[in-house]
Amino acid sequence: MERQENRSRVDRSRLLPEYRTLLEEQDALGGPAMETLTPQQARAASETRLALHWGAKDVVSGIEDLEIPSGDVRLKARLYRVAGTARTILFFHGGWMVGTIETHDGPVRSLAKAAHANVLSVEYRKAPEAPFPAACEDSEAALLWLQGNGGALALDAGKVILAGDSAGASLCASLAIRARDLAIPLAGQVLIYPATDLSGVTGSRQKFASGFSLQQSTMIWFAEHYLSGGMLPSDPRVSPLLASDLSRLAPTLLITADHDPLRDEGRAYAQRLIAAGNDVCYEEWQGTIHGFFIMDRAGKTARKLIGRIGEWAKSLWDRHDDGERSGG
């Protein structure tokens, strides 16, 4: 009862109508909060719920299901091919505990089409069975695998763009720092409403704690399971906002939703990247909520976002190509 009453008190007047309607429909359906379920129950429920956010799926030139080694495990991956290009995006879905290559199949297809690029979508190991740093290790293993095998797959591994939403964006942010340290070239990174600081409570986490898709109580539950191996939330691989050195990173497109608990830490990360001298395009999408990247059924905004990401990626690759032709 308290959860429903809290929802009735939130101010959704500035949301786009598509998300206000979506949240009202979810309120009417009710159901248990994710944090009241076991991780396994939450994962099973999310498999259906997340996939249902997307409508008609775009057709790509080809799809290949692959396996990528990470230590003594093999990760599921899916390569979405677009004919006539070797440009490649390495994508990590959100979730930490939930989410798969299947839940993000629709938006990733659209991303491949919008960017006119191949997309390698990787399913990292999940907490609590595999707590941090497993997901970080898996993301690094995927990048190294792509570096070593991209040529055989007709993929340009020398100008990869990292991309991810939510927890996947957090993995990308940490991976971009790691790539810099390993001298692995990246063309760019796309961070869609990233979690960048699990160590504190921001104003947006308080303002949008309930009633706006992602609940602060759910974020706390995610973090507890993700860090159940005993690691601290202040570890910069967990909270890239706390990294001491954010210089010399790949060009970045960072997206936040203005009605998202993670909004302020996304803003703060963009500000730190800019202050460190990086090439950063920061955009806060008005009237949106956490998760809108995958919410095609709600309205047109998800595809607008993916179209914007595609434009940015193509422009970035074109600049790289122009520089190479001019000898820069």
Catalytic residue numbers? 166, 260, 290
Residue among 39, 146, 42 nearest 87 (CA): 146
How many CB atoms lie under 10 A from the CB of residue 70? 21
Q: How far apart are CA 63 and CA 82, in angstroms?
A: 9
DSSP class of 231? -
Q: How far apart are CA 217 and CA 321, in angstroms?
A: 45
43-47's contacts with Cβ under 8 Å and 24+ in sequence apart are 43/97, 43/98, 43/126, 46/95, 46/98, 46/99, 46/103, 47/98, 47/100, 47/102, 47/103
Find out whether 262 and 166 touch, Cβ atoms under 8 Å: yes
